[in-house]
Chain A
């Protein structure tokens, strides 16, 4: 391996290693199973933007909806999706699955 190639690799490694620093948005996971949210209470840091990864394990689509968070998004069956929320003031923000609102309920707690 010649020195130029080594240098390139080092630079590449350097770029790759700084990427998580640039994208320092905390990620949280929310699962949908049998028209229920897991966990039903999601704790997130207050005053900070959060990347929420929603995994729908049901074969049916669901719609993540929250008036308090001002968010709404369809999650197709057996798939995953991403919603960015916040930065939020400390407090509780209920959300629900609009397609199965009786069972699919949860809340975000910003601390």
Chain B
């Protein structure tokens, strides 16, 4: 029970932890970047944590009811909706860096950026943590499971958060412009993952048509292996994706890769290089 708890909880925590790290790096680099005169207060993170945990409790409590919506595919539809909503917020965040003159933009960004970051992370936590809550409620009904499940959850949470911290410091240790570039690349791939997961959920619910499987690398890198799990959390790796999943993965990743925030990171003259 201990080991299966560690694996299950880690799967959920890792994805959220890595997203938080990347957004935190970005939030720090943007604040440091003197050219934009932008300060993003880090209070969005604790706020997202509180909202996310509260959301997760609510979602877990209503899961039996939601499950019956839309002829028993309510969970797929709701989860896909959450994924698409996070993707939309991410795109909005990345595209906000183009509008208007600099002064106007800076004022708007200072107001909107923390709200968008908070909403994205809170939604991500809601989705991932609600599954952990359901799991714990389920398996801890058997008294013998209580201590291995609690210990396993604590351990997996520790590993997940540590991985997030490692990623955070690794990216921050890079020269500023490269830290910026790596975060943006990871965000583009993360956007692809969101879209691909939404497609998978909607196919499972029969709201989207079946499309043929494009490849199968489950012998090479199984999804349940450590490498598979890490790759899933980082770039949305899947061993046997469908055509539609790949198409929307690419479309979303490209959308972010052509956003003003992404392009800003690849401009050679861009601000932060001076203080790198």
Closest to B213 in A: A70
Closest to A70 in B: B240
B223 touches A60 (CB 8 A): no
- Whether a CB of chain B sits under 8 angstroms from the CB of A45 is no
Number of CB contacts from chain A to chain B under 8 A: 74
Least CB distance from A97 to B in Å reads 10
A79 touches B200 (CB 8 A): no
A79 touches B67 (CB 8 A): yes
Take A70-B240, A74-B131 as given contacts and tell me if A80 and B206 are in contact as well, using a CB distance cutoff of 8 Å. Answer: no
Interface of A is mostly: loop
- Whether a CB of chain A sits under 8 angstroms from the CB of B72 is yes
A84 touches B141 (CB 8 A): no
- Whether a CB of chain A sits under 8 angstroms from the CB of B99 is no
A68 / chain B contacts, CB cutoff of 8 Å: 218, 240
Interface residues of A in 55-90 (CB under 8 A from B): 59-63, 67-68, 70-71, 73-77, 79-84, 86-87
- Whether a CB of chain A sits under 8 angstroms from the CB of B227 is no
For the complex, give the distance between the alpha carbons of A59 and B140 in Å. 12
For the complex, give the distance between the alpha carbons of A98 and B6 in Å. 12
Contact among B138, B205, B241 with A84 in the assembled complex (CB-CB below 8 Å): B205
A100 / chain B contacts, CB cutoff of 8 Å: 139
A71 touches B204 (CB 8 A): yes
Contact among A59, A70, A87 with B141 in the assembled complex (CB-CB below 8 Å): A59
B72 touches A81 (CB 8 A): yes
A74 touches B67 (CB 8 A): yes
**Interface magnitude class on chain A:** 20 to 34
Least CB distance from A101 to B in Å reads 5
A76 touches B141 (CB 8 A): no
- Which of A51, A73, A87, A98: most chain B CB closer than 10 A? A73
Interface residues of B in 19-55 (CB under 8 A from A): none
B4 / chain A contacts, CB cutoff of 8 Å: 98, 101-102
Known: A74-B67, A81-B73, A99-B139. 12 other contacts (CB 8 A): A49-B210, A53-B72, A60-B137, A61-B63, A61-B135, A67-B222, A67-B239, A76-B63, A76-B64, A81-B67, A87-B210, A98-B8
